[in-house]
Each structure stands twice: as structure tokens, then as C-alpha cells.
Amino acid sequence: TVVNGTADLSNMTIPEKLKEKTAEDSASQSDEENAEELIENKTAPTNAKKGKRTEAVRVDRDRLDELIDLIGELVISESMVSADYQKMSNGANEGAAHTQLRKITRELQSLSLSLRMTPISGLFQKGKRVVRDLSRKLGKPVELVIEGGETELDKSVLDELSDPLVHLIRNSVDHGVECSVDDRSSAGKNETATITLRAFYQGGSIYVEIEDDGRGLDRDKLLARAIERGVIEPNANLTDDQIHNLIFEAGFSMAAKVTEVSGRGVGMDVVRRNIEALRGTVTIRSEQGKGTCISLRLPLTLAIIDGMVVRVQDQRYIIPTLNIVNQLRPEAEALSTINNSGEIVDVRGKNVPFHRLSKVFSLTGEEKEVTDSIIILVEENSRLVGLLVDEVVGQQQVVIKSLGASLSDSSEGIAGAAVMPDGEVGLILDLHGVLELACGTHAKQ
């Protein structure tokens, strides 16, 4: 008999009791197995192509980095083997085995780098809490919109991006959004401000943008504060981009008073340094009364770089292609000198300063004539500058090697090194450091 859904065993014989109990245990076990299978089906991702569930494996990060370093060494070794083969065969085409080796090496390289790729959505989600807390503290209704959260980038880049991104979000809420709802209403805007975080791929880089629909940057106030702080001269003639970039100067702040959120003049200069340390760039687009957009351009990975290999005397340097705008062989009539301390070249009617890498790095060999050399036009912090080199060797992907703590401190202007196909070492230029060195060299002269 069954009472309230439970079997009544009081009137049963012992064999009947055992039989009934076994049936209950079997049914209970079946229900548990069905529940576990249901949970597994919901939680375990499936491979759409093969129709199989995939499993995630936790791997120590140091081991993963070591694996990627070893594959980088394999890529270098393969390039060296290829160079040796070309010499031995007098430039003959590669054999089938060598072609297959190159293909497998490149696939291994691509696969290993993809292991460290992580969606940026986790980082963007942190922005929601920052916006919510600041919105309540400052009394500003603000909504955060996220676009492109599925975009992936290197875990190392993601970790270094966290603090700069949080600071930029805080700046957008505090400085970008109008102080009151009435100010937004009088400007014909919704009472609730919108801050958009977006990420997308473009041209081999990843772009992360923080955009608000607030009041934008006030050109006149920026100039007045910069002159007051002694950042620029009162009669300086600056473009809009140069004025907007003043907010990245050390100690510069537009806050009327120091608060818990802002006003200390510390932050935006650190943001720029951190992004440049990742081999990235920061640009600003702003329209007064409409809003501001700060765009971060970052490499997909820190392990490999697309570079232009150049030669200066007997040294080879690698310039990141992300910063290269153009290259040209200058004509004599396009060259001129300013106060014997700086050289400029006329590029389509625009005077562009250029620096000789031989002088920047104090090379003592014989210098070629400028008209027999190549000027590489690079963009650094919204500035167009030329670098004079003897020869452009070619473009190639290189595996970045750190110089180590002992060498990094004394290697200003150098971001790292790479082993070239012939086994020699090429130095990767840090353009910000190179230009700082160049300005110091001219100051001494």
C-alpha cells in the first residue's frame, strides 16, 4: 500500500519488503543519474562540428608561457634553417619537406598564441560596477552600454589593460557627463547619460573605445589651464588634436577641486604610459557639447610583432609596422635645417621633423648622404616624425625576447630584441624612447 506517495511496509512480509525497497532504490538512482546527465548536458559545451562535448583543462600559466616561448624558439630555428637552405642551394625553391615544416611551424605558432586569447567581456563587466557606484556617488544617472564583449585578446594584454580602462571610465563619468540632469535637458539630451565600451578588430590590431555623450572637451579651458600650469607657451599655435592631448601631460587636471574621484592630476599620463608599454597608442576624438571618445589601439599579442627591419651602418633595428605611416627617399630640395639643431623634410607640403638613428644611438661608423638614405615616417602620440635609416631590409614577423632587468634599465629607446633568420640579433625600437633620446641629443647640440 502507498500512503502519501510513500510505500507502507508495515503489512508486508520480509521478502516483499526487500523487493519494494530495492525497487525504490533503483528508481531513486535512476532519477539521480538522469539529473546528473541533464546538468552535464547544460554545463558542458558541445563541439558543433563534431557533435561532442568539450572539456576545459586548467593549466598553470607559467607552463603555458614556457610552451609559447619554446614554439617561438622553433619558429626562429625554422627561419634559420630556411636561410641556410637558401645559401646552400643558391636560392633554389624550397623542397616539399621544408615547405611542410614551415606550414606546421606556422600552425603551431598560431595555435599556441590562441591558447592565451581571452574574451574582453570579463573586463567590461567590471565597468558596470564602476559606473553604478560613481553614478550614485555623484548623483548622475548613467547607463553603460557594452559592444563587442566577445572580442578576444592576449591574457597578458588584458591584465595590463584593467587599471587604465577603469580610470578612463571614471573620467568619463566624472568629467565627461554633465554635472546635472538640467544641464543635459537644456542641451536637448536624455536625462540618463550613456557611456559605451566597445572592442573590435581592425587592421591586425584590437581597438578598445570608451565613448560618452557628455559635454566634450572645452578647447578654451584646456588652453587656459595648460598656460596656467606652464605646460605650453601663451602664444603657442596648436591644432585641436594637440590641445586634446594636453590632458595626458603629467600633473594636468581639469577638475575645479580635489575630490575622492579626481583633481589630483595623476592618472591620464599613467594611462598613456601603460598603453605605450603594451606597444599601443591612445587617441582622442571630442566635440564640445556632443561627447568624447578615447580610442586605445593594442596589439593582439605581446609574443610576436610585425616589424620593418631596417639597417643603420652595421646595426639592424626593427620598427613596429603599427606605427609606420610611409617611407620615402628624400630629394635635396625637400630638406632643410632649423637653427642647426633639427632637420625637416617636406612631405606633400607639410614640414616633418626627422632624426638620424645613427646619431640617436651614437653609432661611430661612416654616415651615408641623406639623399641616399630612407626616411621612415612613423606616428607616435599623434605626432608625425621621420627616422633616417641606411636601408630597408624588409618586413617580417619576429618573436620578441626581453632584454632582462640588467639591460632594460640602460637600453633607452629599445623595447626588446629578436633573433633574425641568420642567427644575429635585431633590436626592436621603442618609438617613444627613441624620440626622447633624439630630443635630448638635439638639446646637447
Query: Which residues in 430-440 are b (16+ Cβ under 10 Å) and which e?
Result: bbbbbbebbee
Q: Name the residue with cell 630597408.
A: 392
pLDDT for the residue 341: 59
Give whole-number Cα distances, 297 to 185, 237, 401, in Å. 34, 28, 22
**H helices within 7-60, ranges in order?**
14-43
The candidate with the shortest Cα–Cα distance to 174, out of 251, 267, 242, is: 267
| CA pair distance 248, 268, nearest whole angstrom | 5
pLDDT for the residue 55: 77
Query: Which residues in 404-413 are b (16+ Cβ under 10 Å) and which e?
Result: eeeeeeebeb
pLDDT for the residue 262: 57
pLDDT for the residue 20: 54
Which residue positions in the chain have pLDDT lower than 70? Answer: 1-54, 91-94, 203-204, 252-266, 340-341, 381-382, 404-410, 440-445
pLDDT for the residue 6: 46
pLDDT for the residue 4: 45
Could you report how far apart the first and last alpha carbons of the chain are, in Å?
Answer: 106
Between CA 159 and CA 61, with CA 301 as vertex, the angle to 5 degrees is 55
pLDDT for the residue 51: 55
pLDDT for the residue 317: 93
pLDDT for the residue 144: 92
pLDDT for the residue 88: 79
User: Which amino acid, 71?
Assistant: I
